[in-house]
């Protein structure tokens, strides 16, 4: 990973994160990489994030697929343009991360 940035996001009454990942190379994002990002974001800040919006690009700015890795994790997600949206409960269910 080259860089990651996160901004607070509000969707309805839900607080969360908008996360932009920049990865070296053009290889797809692995389920292990996505899991690490989801776990870090899930436990970042207070209050607990209700949602995460994730987008990944290579260093040249081309979008990288996150849906394959999310499917491999068995996590419920929604497609959002070139990214994915995941709610806290889906992260907890798939990765066992509840507090």
Terminal alpha carbon distance of the chain: 27
pLDDT for 6 equals 85
pLDDT for 99 equals 52
Closest CA to 70 of 91, 47, 89: 91
Condensed to tens digits (0 to 9), the pLDDT of residues 60-83 reads 999 999 999 999 999 999 999 899
pLDDT for 22 equals 92
Low-confidence ranges of the chain (pLDDT < 70): 1, 46, 98-99
**Residue whose entry in the numeric block shows the structure tokens 């890795």:** 69
pLDDT for 46 equals 67
For residues 33 and 66, give the distance between their C-alpha atoms in angstroms, rounded to a whole number. Answer: 10
pLDDT for 69 equals 94
CA distances from 42 to 9, 59, 91 (A): 13, 25, 8
pLDDT for 96 equals 83
For residues 22 and 5, give the distance between their C-alpha atoms in angstroms, rounded to a whole number. Answer: 9
């Amino acid at each position: 990973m080259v860089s990651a940035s996160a901004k607070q996001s509000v969707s309805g009454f839900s607080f969360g994160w908008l996360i932009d990942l920049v990865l070296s190379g053009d290889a797809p994002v692995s389920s292990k990489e996505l899991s690490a990002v989801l776990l870090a974001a899930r436990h970042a800040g207070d209050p607990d994030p209700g949602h995460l919006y994730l987008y990944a690009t290579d260093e040249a700015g081309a979008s990288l697929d996150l849906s394959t890795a999310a499917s491999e994790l068995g996590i419920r997600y929604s497609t959002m343009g070139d990214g994915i949206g995941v709610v806290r409960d889906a992260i907890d269910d798939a990765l066992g991360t509840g507090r």
